[in-house]
Structure 1
């Protein structure tokens, strides 16, 4: 069983949702709309879709979106919202690595910092599966805050965050042998305490580019922000754009 199989529920989900704003979602969807260069009606794959904040907004723009997530409560919320608005969104519950997908897609994305969940062999399989379900020339957008050039210059062993009425503590330990961050997460609210453990595998930019190449992609852009700023050492976010090879 993978560490993330039963991770996304309860306070974890509530904290994540509370940390996202409608403005942020709108800006990210505008970014995807510009980068993916799709026409209304074309098919988009949302990898680790969560409760569908991007999938639903892109469907409102006219795209047909398929979302995959391992959280039952997230997929249920996505499907309810799509049915309520009669939006062209299809939710698949399951582990992306083993979930069967249907049609080829003109574009795909993985936003929200779930991109770092896999060790090397699984990461390659993950990228190959995305490539296999993209049409030739299709674009994929990957979002991560766990690339080595972001994490290691100022590694944080302990940090606190207040998200609405939820207090969130992250305690990190870096595994040199695995190039992996083992995180102990604690969520506190009104006397309720929830603890979870997570793993984030850390890749250098060069490693990521080699993995994308092996999976059948060409990396075309590396941004640090939605405004298209180039990614530089120490930037806390990477938006990597890759195109499936013909």
Structure 2
């Protein structure tokens, strides 16, 4: 069983949601709309959708959204929100890599995106299968936007072995990183601390593994599955990528 299949519940899940600001979500949305070139009634796939921070606003714009995430809590919340607003959202609780729920959706999506470090959950064979599945679901001319801060040119120039991160008003996360150069991966030990109103502190530990690819490696992988890289950005403001940027946003198109 892969680590991410049991990671996202409890404090780690709360911390991830608390870390996403309204401003960041809005900037993400503007980037999605500008780079993927889809319109109302187009079919859009949100891979590892979380609680729907992008799915719901895009559905409000008229997109027909399909959203997939492994977290039952996130998908339950997303379904409830979509039902309340009567939005066109198909929410699937499953591992995107293995779910049969999308088997009948061959070449039906006009666009797809995967934002956040979930893009680097996979070692090479699984990453290839992951990209093959996305390519299989996109129509010819369909576009893909992926983002990660675990790309080699992003994470390695300023690699931090230990970092304390405040999250919201009541949580702190200690991130301890170990880079495995022969494996091309970063092993993380995360300690989540939440201070409750009565002064007590709740502590939870998790481990995670992120696979580090260069942009050239990712470009070759995308090419192998029939997707051509159109652009690589270093910020949500669509600025050209430079080594050491905060993340890499890759836009690709299916032939």
- Which range, TM-score by smaller chain? over 0.9
What is aligned with 2:236?
226
Q: Deviations over 1:200-226 (max 9, x none)?
A: 000011111110000110000000112
- Equivalent residue runs for 1:114-125 within 5 Å: 114-125=118-129
Instruction: Decide which of 199, 204, 217 is 1:207's aligned counterpart.
Output: 217
Rounded to whole Å, the distance in 2 between the matches of 1:10 and 1:230 is: 37
Match of 1:173 in 2: 178
The alpha-carbon deviation at position 236 of structure 1 amounts to 1.8
Specify the alignment match of 1:105 in structure 2. 109
- Computed over aligned residues only, the root mean square deviation of the Cα atoms, in angstroms, reads 0.8
Distance in 1, Cα, partners of 2:137 & 2:216: 24
**Structure 2 residues not aligned, in runs of 5+:** 196-200
Q: CA deviation at 1:120?
A: 0.4
The alpha-carbon deviation at position 38 of structure 1 amounts to: 1.0
Moved over 6 A (4+): none
Number of aligned residue pairs: give it. Answer: 245
CA shift for structure 1 position 128: 0.5
Provide Cα deviations, 1:141-199, integer angstroms capped at 9, x if missing partner. Answer: 00100010111111100000111200100000011221100000000012110000000
CA distance in 1 between partners of 2:238 and 2:38 (Å): 18
When normalised by structure 2's length, the TM-score is 0.94
Instruction: State the TM-score, normalizing by the size of structure 1.
Output: 0.98
Name the residue aligned to 1:84: 84
- The answer (yes or no) to whether the contact 1:182–1:199 under 8 Å persists in 2 is yes
Q: CA–CA distance in 1 between the matches of 2:213 and 2:183?
A: 10
Which ranges in structure 1 are unaligned for 5 or more consecutive residues? none
**Which residue does 2:137 correspond to in 1?**
133
